[in-house]
Amino acid sequence: NAGVTQTPKFQVLKTGQSMTLQCAQDMNHEYMSWYRQDPGMGLRLIHYSVGAGITDQGEVPNGYNVSRSTTEDFPLRLLSAAPSQTSVYFCASSYGRQRTAKSSYNEQFFGPGTRLTVL
């Protein structure tokens, strides 16, 4: 299994450009999510999905769109990049429901991240 994969690993954009960050998982996980990580602020949830065709907003959704047409893929779209979106973006996946109280099946698996700079 490849686990959670993300592309690209690095990206530089100019203000106003749009782009899509790709995320895929091969573990048949129902739940997928996108986080951004900024210095001193930890990981913040952007959008998440509990299954194909279902998405919802997290803590910081403005300026981002997502879709979930398949179980495997969960792309994140930046509509019009701004310098405030310079960050490291992580995609994560997990099973959609709690298995047991003591099982590590509840963990979220993270992709390697995309480092985005907006000039």
Q: Which residues bind other proteins (CB under 8 A)?
A: 31, 33, 35, 40-45, 48, 50, 56, 58-59, 90, 94, 96, 98, 101-104, 106-113
C-beta of 17 vs 110, nearer to other proteins: 110
Residue 19 CB, shortest distance to other proteins, in Å, is 20
Residue 106 CB, shortest distance to other proteins, in Å, is 5
C-beta of 2 vs 14, nearer to other proteins: 2
C-beta of 17 vs 108, nearer to other proteins: 108
Residue 55 vs residues 30, 48, 61, 74, 76: alpha-carbon distances, Å: 11, 6, 11, 10, 11
Cα dihedral 107, 70, 26, 46, rounded to 10, equals: -40
- Cβ count near 2 (within 10 Å): 9
C-beta of 14 vs 104, nearer to other proteins: 104
Contact between residue 95 and residue 29 where contact means Cβ atoms under 8 Å apart: yes
Q: What's the token pair of residue 108?
A: 């979220």
Residue 49 CB, shortest distance to other proteins, in Å, is 9
Residue 51 CB, shortest distance to other proteins, in Å, is 9
| Nearest partner of 11 among 118, 85, 90, judged by Cα | 118
